[in-house]
Amino acid sequence: MEFFRFSRDIPFMSWKRVAAVISLVTFILSVFFITTRGLNLGVDFTGGTVLEISYEQTADLNKIRNVLAGLNMTDVTVQNFGTSRDVMIRLPVMPEYSSAQLSETVLDALRQADNTVEMRRVEFVGPQVGKELLENGALALLFVSLGIVAYLAVRFEWKFGIAGIVANLHDVIIILGFFAFFQWEFSLTVLAAVLAILGYSVNESVVIFDRIRENFRKLRKVSVDKVINNAITRTMARTIMTHGSTQMVVISMLLFGGEVLFYFALALTIGIWFGIYSSIMVASPILMLLGVKREDLVKLEEKKPENDGAVV
């Protein structure tokens, strides 16, 4: 069932120059903010102390933050986990305290405010461990990117691989640029969101690339830009339904998931919107720039098995 129908093709490729300017400006600004301001790395990457405490009644997170602020501990994360009575506190590395002293100081201050508080767990993440996590995360991004290029190059042609990875890296840099500009905390959960967006965005690109390949075989007397416009327009109903449904779930996490899921959902939201944009207005124009040829795709299509259908 198709809820959204388009009576004529939308001329996306006629806007490719405007899109190129927008993409270059946002990409350059993102790289500038990442370089000059850097990412606000969380405890997972920088090292620090994680405390898990429990109350007999619902914990007042603002009250806990005020207690920690009284100890000059402002760069902390306080969030519920499990139940409303359980609280996780993430503290950065503080050279003036040992790990044991830090946990005891925090617990004593919290007990003065509420004597029902109990310590459940204390975990120290060393700076070396955080550095290794950051390096492993960067390697994960690299290997995922190489895998995407290889997949698109084998499934379609090397030009599609280049177009797809440029569009995907565009999304990643934009997400990192937002986090650098606003100095939002970049944690392991945000890194997981970035990796998820890489897969999510490439799926959108594959759907469009499949339609382009089909159109080159069927619309033999139509120019390349019209072939691409028709392919994108044919997938718009699917794009609206798929991304709309996904975004509703992500918005629910953003609004009701609490501090634990907030930045994860925020990264997904940015990635979803820019993933749609890049698949349409970055990957497709790059195909035209690289001079994708009808003959190459028709030959490749003839070598494919008949049941090699498009991703829907």
Closest by CA position to 86, among listed 115, 116, 63, 54: 54
For residue 173, the tally of other CB atoms under 10 A from its CB is 19
Cβ neighbors of 282 (< 8 A, separation 6 or more) are 19, 23, 163, 166, 167, 170
The yes-or-no verdict on residue 286 having pLDDT over 80 is yes
Give the confidence band of 173 by pLDDT, cuts at 50, 70, 90. very high
Range in 148-157, 195-204, 249-258, 278-287 with the lowest mean pLDDT: 148-157
Q: What is the pLDDT of residue 309?
A: 46
Give the confidence band of 209 by pLDDT, cuts at 50, 70, 90. confident
Q: Which long-range contacts (CB under 8 A, 24 or more apart) does 138-144 make?
A: 140/191, 140/195, 141/172, 141/194, 141/195, 141/198, 144/195, 144/198, 144/199
Per-residue model confidence as pLDDT tens digits over 11-36: 898 999 999 999 999 999 999 999 99
Q: What is the pLDDT of residue 152?
A: 77
77: helix, strand or coil: strand
How large is the average pLDDT for residues 113-135?
A: 78
Q: What is the pLDDT of residue 130?
A: 64
Q: What is the pLDDT of residue 311?
A: 43
Range in 122-126, 199-203, 214-218 with the lowest mean pLDDT: 122-126
Tell which wins on pLDDT, 112 or 298. Answer: 112
Rounded CA-CA distance 294/148 in Å is 23
> Are 153 and 161 a contacting pair, CB within 8 Å?
yes
Tell which wins on pLDDT, 237 or 174. Answer: 174
> Are 188 and 258 a contacting pair, CB within 8 Å?
no
How large is the average pLDDT for residues 189-208?
A: 85
Q: What is the pLDDT of residue 307?
A: 47
Rounded CA-CA distance 192/189 in Å is 5
How large is the average pLDDT for residues 282-300?
A: 73
Q: What is the pLDDT of residue 79?
A: 80
Q: What is the pLDDT of residue 127?
A: 64
Tell which wins on pLDDT, 134 or 215. Answer: 215
The yes-or-no verdict on residue 105 having pLDDT over 90 is no
Per-residue model confidence as pLDDT tens digits over 54-92: 988 888 888 888 888 888 887 787 887 767 888 888 888
The yes-or-no verdict on residue 98 having pLDDT over 80 is no
How large is the average pLDDT for residues 255-283?
A: 88
Q: What is the pLDDT of residue 176?
A: 93
The yes-or-no verdict on residue 295 having pLDDT over 70 is no
Give the confidence band of 44 by pLDDT, cuts at 50, 70, 90. confident
Give the confidence band of 212 by pLDDT, cuts at 50, 70, 90. confident
Closest by CA position to 235, among listed 257, 263, 204: 204
> Which ranges of the chain would DSSP assign to H, the alpha helix?
16-36, 43-46, 61-70, 99-113, 127-155, 158-182, 188-218, 224-256, 258-278, 284-290, 294-303
Rounded CA-CA distance 19/278 in Å is 9
